[in-house]
Structure formats: C-alpha cells, structure tokens
C-alpha cells in the first residue's frame, strides 16, 4: 500500500502521520533570540532540538532561532527550509526501533548575499542575545600547528579592509557588534557549537583578532563585553542523501531537508552568557565550569576514533562507519588504539571513565541504523587529524606511552590522500587542501619523510625519531603489502 505524502508545513502540523510527534506550542508566538550561522544537519539535531524540547514545555518562546549562512550552499538550504515554514523532521535511528518528531524552534532564515548586509542587520537587533555557529573545525582561521589566528588568509584580509561588507561570519558578527555599540544595545554571547577543544576560547580569538585589524577600540569592547562559553557537543548526525529522503517519505512526510540521528545526545556548556540564555539544563544539557575534561574525552576518543577508522575504510572500499566497525581488522584497530594509546591521555569525568567511554563509542559507531559514510567522516582531514589525533600523539610521546597505532593512523591517512583505493578506484577530493596533500602523499610512496615534511600540519613532530621511524615503517608496509597487512601486524604486536 502506497503511503500518502503530505508536505511539511505549519498547516500540516494539525494532521501529522501516525507516530510522528509535532510541536505542542504555538509557533506564531515565538520571537527571535538566537541567530545560528551554518545551519546544517548537526545544528537541527542538536541545539535546535534542545530548544524545541524547552518549547514543548511552554518555555523559551522568546529564544526562537533565525538561521543564517555565508556560503552559496546556504542559499539553497534557505530555500528548502523556507518552503516548509522552517520545520525539520528528525528521525532517530535506534537498533530497537525508529521514531520521528517535527522540530519547530527555527522561525526564519536571513537572505544569503554578498556583503552579508541582511545578516549584519539581523544580528544587530537587540532581541538577538546569542549568535551561535557550526562552521566546521577548519572554519575559524587558525594555524593547525601553532593554533594562532591566521591574519594572512585572503578572507581575513578582505574583511579587515572592508569591515562593513565582510565575507566571513566573523566579519558579519563584528559589523553587527559595531552597530549595537553605536546604538547603545547590549553585547551578545558568541557560542561555538563546533568540535574544537576550547571552542569558545578559539571563537574569542578569531573574533577579537579580526576586529583588531580594522578597529582596535571595538576589539577591546568585544573582548570586555561579549562572552564566549566553551562547550562540548555530541550526536552522530549523518548527511542527508537519497536514502534519508526516501526514509522520511516512508513516514508519509514530504520534507526536502530531513535529518537522521543516533539515539544519543550530549551538550556540556560553560555557563558564561552575558545576555541570558535558555534553560537548556532542564532538558538534558549540562552546565559546568570544567568543560575541558568532557570535551577532551569526546574529541580524542570519538572524533579521533572516527579518523582512525574512516581513512582505513575509504582505502578498503568500506562505505559506512558501522561497516568499518564490523570489519574484523578496522574495528579491532579502533578498540586497541582507543584503549591503549588514547585513553591514557584522557581524564575521567563525573560518571564516566575513559575505558567505559571507549565501550560507549564502540556501540555508537557500530549502530547499523546510522548510515554514516566514511567519506563524510574523513572530510577535511587537514583540520580533523591536526585537531583530533595529533594533540594526543604529542601528549603520548611526551609521556612515553605507546604511539605505534597513532603513527599507523598517520600512515593510513597518507595512503588515503594518494587518491586511490586498493581496488584501483579513485578517491575524489575530500579536503580543502586536497591537491597539496595528494602531491605529498605521492612523494611519500618512495620517501615517507615527504609526508611528515608538511610543517603546517606536523610542526616539529617530524623530528621526533620514534614517531617518524614508526610512520616510515608503517607506510612502507602499507604500500608493499596493503592496509590489512599493516592492521594485522599492529594487532599482533
């Protein structure tokens, strides 16, 4: 029997398909309080969902979300969401059964345009008290080795020279803060929701440093008046593709931009909001003064673990993360590295030891209902490897604890960046600096040191004898006998 499709809209909320939960609040009563820049799947499954849960209790109706973006694809997302009244179907993928709900906490999306005038005007409104972002780990204009602000980047140079018509989200935030200060309006909280350790601190660095290039007095005001809470965000949210579009149709809903997610969420936030905040803690978020321990555990084991398995899966033509975990060697490789090399560099947090967290991540990665591609997880390795793997490697080398598996991870990444799989098929460009990485990876086939010579990625690690020797041995073995032979050798050690 064919399912009757109903297009997602405000009007459709009165007659939802059986089993689909919709908003119980009056969406017409919501007023804006948050502008979120970079409105992809993760935001709609995470921050937007927490706010939606508050609204389901009749609370936080003055914290509605206005979406925003500064890239061309954001304009297409705006069109899709505007056509369905900014509603999103969230589908939870649990091995025990699926469930769906309609989230309605987003109420608008500013036009995406050159110069970002509409975005600046929206953020400048006094009702906006939080400006949040998910712009990817590599989007904060920081040097991957020194972690300093990259003032030489062309986008930053443009915004410094044209502060009233910026290209970047940060430039738009600064222009809006300039207007707010001139109009006597209060500052706002700038809230990063990206997977960066110390994400609030990094956002502060980017915003203040960019402002200082054109208006030092404004930079001082931003640094003194705005707040930048650190946070840890966690929920596995696959990209939306044909399978997800068909899945939402099977529920009887026509949604051009549905979101699937796992049956796990976590949000740990530093309680530093200069203009107020929703009470997210009443719907499951954790406010704490020690975000660092939580984020270190998550970034090093979950995000680092993703990098361990995704690159191996890509070279071995394993399409999905759950398939990597089901692979006899890749799954075991994750377990051994996470347990013996990463965990010793991670501290326990209230209610969770590193060892128990490895078990939790093993179960989450292995969820067969989550159709999460290795390509998505392996994207932007130049930011993710330097942010999720190399800090652990440095700490382990300093502590004298094992690093053989971490060295192997870098050899596998170098093998992937060569651009072909072991079956001979081509790996399409999957990094902002893919061409540079591929040149280094091809040279490293015969001279492994050529890969570690990328000082913008590895800094002084190339001079660490034990690591460089291990890396060279692993890459030589991979090119002679293959990824599986290297994994098998490591697991037998």
The tens digit of pLDDT for each residue in 148-204 reads 999 999 999 999 999 999 999 999 999 999 999 999 999 999 999 998 889 999 999
Give me the pLDDT at residue 103, please: 98
* Residue 34 dihedral angles phi and psi, to the nearest 5°: -130, 135
Average pLDDT over residues 279-283: 98
Of all residues in the chain, the percent with pLDDT exceeding 70 is 99
| C-alpha separations of 301 from 70, 306, 347, 486, 492 in Å | 31, 8, 11, 21, 22
Structure confidence at residue 1 (pLDDT): 43
Q: Which residue in 127, 138, 221 sits closest to 174, CA to CA?
A: 221
State the pLDDT at residue 229: 98
Query: What sections of 125-259 are H helices per DSSP?
Result: 154-161, 169-182, 199-214, 216-225, 242-250
Strands 266-269 and 231-234: antiparallel
Pairing of strands 20-21, 32-37: unpaired
Query: What pLDDT does 3 receive?
Result: 65
Q: What mean pLDDT is predicted for residues 241-260?
A: 95
What is the rounded CA–CA span in Å between residue 4 and residue 18?
12
Averaged pLDDT for residues 122-143: 94
pLDDT, averaged across the chain? 96
pLDDT higher than threshold 50 for residue 489? yes
Q: Give dist(CA 184, CA 238) in Å, integer.
A: 42
Q: Residue 147: its pLDDT value, please? A: 86
CB atoms under 10 Å from CB of 375, counted, come to 16
Integer-rounded Cα radius of gyration of the chain: 23
Structure tokens at 440: 């280094």
Q: pLDDT value at position 72?
A: 87
Give the DSSP H or E segment for 150: none
pTM for the model? 0.88
Which residues are CB-neighbours of 139 under 8 A, at least 6 positions away?
A: 38, 169, 194
Quick: pLDDT tens for 310-359. 999 999 999 999 999 999 999 999 999 999 999 999 999 999 999 999 99
Provide the pLDDT for residue 218. Answer: 98
Q: What percent of the chain has pLDDT over 90?
A: 94
pLDDT at 2 over 60: no
Please give the pLDDT value at position 276.
Answer: 97
Q: What is the mean pLDDT of residues 479-484?
A: 98
C-beta neighbour count of 243 within 10 angstroms: 10
Kindly report, residue by residue over 66-118, the tens digit of the pLDDT.
999 999 889 999 999 999 999 999 999 988 888 999 999 999 999 999 999 99
Give the Cα separation of 203 and 137 in Å (integer): 11
Cα 17 to chain centroid distance, Å, stands at 32
């Amino acid at each position: 029997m064919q399912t009757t499709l109903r297009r997602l809209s405000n009007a459709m909320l009165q007659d939802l398909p059986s089993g689909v939960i919709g908003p119980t609040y009056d969406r017409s009563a919501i007023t804006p309080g948050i502008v979120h820049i970079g409105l992809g799947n993760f935001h709609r499954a995470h921050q937007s969902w927490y706010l939606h849960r508050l609204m389901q209790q009749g609370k936080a109706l003055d914290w509605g979300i206005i979406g925003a973006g500064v890239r061309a694809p954001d304009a297409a997302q705006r069109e899709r969401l505007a056509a369905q009244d900014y509603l999103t179907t969230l589908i939870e993928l649990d091995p025990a059964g699926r469930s769906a709900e309609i989230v309605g906490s987003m109420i608008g999306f500013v036009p995406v345009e050159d110069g970002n005038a509409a975005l600046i005007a929206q953020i400048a409104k006094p009702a906006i008290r939080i400006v949040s972002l998910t712009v990817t780990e590599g989007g904060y204009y920081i040097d991957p080795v020194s972690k300093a602000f990259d003032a030489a980047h062309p986008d930053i140079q443009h915004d410094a020279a044209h502060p009233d018509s910026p290209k970047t989200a940060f430039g738009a935030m600064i222009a809006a803060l300039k207007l707010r200060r001139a109009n006597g309006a209060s500052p706002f909280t700038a809230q990063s929701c990206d997977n960066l350790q110390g994400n609030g601190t990094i956002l502060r660095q980017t915003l203040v440093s960019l402002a200082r290039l054109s208006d030092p007095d404004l930079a001082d005001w931003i640094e003194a008046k705005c707040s930048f809470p650190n946070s840890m965000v966690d929920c596995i949210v696959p990209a939306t593709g044909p399978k997800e579009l068909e899945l939402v149709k099977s529920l009887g809903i026509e949604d051009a931009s549905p979101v699937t997610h796992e049956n796990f969420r976590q949000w740990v936030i530093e309680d530093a909001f200069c203009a107020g905040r929703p009470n997210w803690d009443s719907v499951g978020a954790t406010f704490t003064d020690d975000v660092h321990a939580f984020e270190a555990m998550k970034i090093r084991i979950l995000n680092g673990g993703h990098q361990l398995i995704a690159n191996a899966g890509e070279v071995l033509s394993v399409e999905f993360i759950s398939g990597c975990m089901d692979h006899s060697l890749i799954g075991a490789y994750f377990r051994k590295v996470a347990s013996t090399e990463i965990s010793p560099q991670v501290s326990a947090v209230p209610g969770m030891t590193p060892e128990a967290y490895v078990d939790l991540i093993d179960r989450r990665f292995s969820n067969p209902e989550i159709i999460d591609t290795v390509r998505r997880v392996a994207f932007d390795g130049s930011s993710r490897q330097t942010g999720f793997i190399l800090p652990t490697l440095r700490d382990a080398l300093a502590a004298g604890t094992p690093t053989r598996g971490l060295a192997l991870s870098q050899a596998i990444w170098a093998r992937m960046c060569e651009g072909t799989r072991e079956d001979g098929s081509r790996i399409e460009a999957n990094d902002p600096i893919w061409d540079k990485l591929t040149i280094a990876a091809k040279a490293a086939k015969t001279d492994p040191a050529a890969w570690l010579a990328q000082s913008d990625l590895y800094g002084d690690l190339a001079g660490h004898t034990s690591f460089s020797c291990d890396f060279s041995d692993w890459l030589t073995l991979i090119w002679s006998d293959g990824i599986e032979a290297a994994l098998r050798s490591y697991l037998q050690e």
